[in-house]
Amino acid sequence: MIGRRPVHDRGILDALEAINPEPFRGEVWRVTRKGREALRGSTAHGRWSPSDEFEVLYTSLGRDGALAEIGYRLSLEPVWPSRIEHEIHLIEVETERTLRFASTESLVALGVESARYHTFEYQATQAIAAAAYFLEFDSLIVPSARFDCANLVIFTERVTSLMSRFAAGRLGRLAQAAR
């Protein structure tokens, strides 16, 4: 709703305030549709992004993690998109106030059910992200739901430095390769 600020869970706010943020400097991976700007975030409903509240950029600390995320999404399509091509990007990132959650177990105290983390039940993770954004953190390092690696979820308007170094390569038609 326009003009209405979300109400955040006091327990989540208190728990996040007790965590010392850390800087992150490094490279991350992102897969996009061919032609889409690699640094363009999203306000769509997602695991770490409540719809239309703020923009996030989903990235992975591992190349295979980024590929697993897009591969999973494509596997959900009832008809494989045979003409859509994708690109993989290597992005250089610098943050100042990152919250790190090393495992799904580290999210349990904040209301996340570890055994259901891989599902589309996003209420708990969205509440964490919204509270982190409210507390002016700039990113989250969280476990990937699709691969054994970590993802960096960036609140795009708060990040210190974000630069797409190059398109690391064209992936062609992922849907055909994933079959």
Mean predicted confidence (pLDDT) in 27-32: 93
pLDDT digits (tens, 9 = 90+) for 97-140: 999 999 999 999 999 999 999 998 999 999 999 999 999 999 99
**pTM for the predicted model, two decimal places:** 0.85
pLDDT digits (tens, 9 = 90+) for 143-171: 999 999 999 999 998 887 777 665 555 55
Q: Which domains does the chain have, with CATH numbers?
A: 10-178 (3.90.175)
CA angle (53 as vertex; 56, 14 as ends), nearest 5: 90
- Return the residue matching tokens 């250089």: 92
Least confident piece of the model among 77-81, 84-88, 166-170: 166-170
User: Reduced to 3 states, what is the DSSP secondary structure of residue 35?
Assistant: coil
Q: Which residues pair with 87 in a beta bridge?
A: 32, 170
Tell me which residue of 103, 81, 94 sits closest to 34, measured CA to CA: 81
What pLDDT shows up at residue 140? 98
